[in-house]
Amino acid sequence: MDTIKALPEPQKDLPFPLMKALQNRRTTRKWTLDPVSEQDISNLLWAACGMSVKATRTAKQKRTAPSAANCQEIRLFVALPEGLYEYDEANHTLVLRMNKDIRDSIGTQKMMKSAPVGIVFVSDYSRMKTYLSKDDARKWFVSGTDAGFISQNIYLYCAAANLSTAVLGLVDREELGSILGLYPHENVVYTQVVGNAR
């Protein structure tokens, strides 16, 4: 049975002006070593790709970030000091996948390994509609685009909440995929780190 970590309710009514968040959005590679609060992690994950419209008998759930044909193929894995979790957006919880700190494998740049939170973007091709997954080039295009929407939501929340964040393209995808135990239809797109701003 999976170990579930409950998250605080996301604070959807915070007075963060969108235009100010856009103005302040930056890649910032400096952070304190203090843990990011559970409330910030909750808010950040909901902003990233949380459920904004619940599923009904006739309609699929909607996320805060769009995806091609609403396939929702991007899954987020959250690396914390105590272990690796998968974000379950339908229940807004973290599901423990591994009792191991894998943040050293999040990227190849040494300074990124000190970030309190690492987020791994995984594309699950089995969730894609057939016409979107005809060939590798199309799968990568769709995955990269959809991951970009989610990543930008994280950037905007971090800008509004005074958190530092950076996307890491220099990732050993094969090694990280092996650590995560991914199947052939699942691929690491990139990673993103988050910390409290200095």
Least confident segment among 54-58, 82-86, 123-127, 134-138: 54-58
Average pLDDT over residues 89-98: 96
pLDDT the model gives residue 135 = 87
DSSP the chain: ---EEE-PPP-TT----HHHHHHH------B-SSPPPHHHHHHHHHHHH-EEE---SSS--EESS--GGG---EEEEEEETTEEEEEETTTTEEEEEESS--GGGS-SSGGGGG-SEEEEEEEEGGGS-GGGSSSHHHHHHHHHHHHHHHHHHHHHHHHHHTEEEEEE----HHHHHHHHT--TTEEEEEEEEEEEB-
23 confidence band (pLDDT: 50, 70, 90): very high
Residue 124 has pLDDT above 90, yes or no: yes
Is a pLDDT exceeding 80 seen at residue 14?
yes
The pLDDT value recorded for residue 195 is 97
1 pLDDT band, cuts 50/70/90, is: low
CATH topology assigned to domain 28-51+62-196 = NADH Oxidase (3.40.109)
Cβ pair 156, 123 in contact under 8 A: no
**Residue with the larger pLDDT of the pair 128 and 80:** 80
Q: What is residue 111's predicted lDDT score, i.e. its pLDDT?
A: 75
This prediction's pTM: 0.94
Domain boundaries, the chain: 28-51+62-196
pLDDT tens profile 159-197: 999 999 999 989 999 999 999 999 999 999 999 999 999
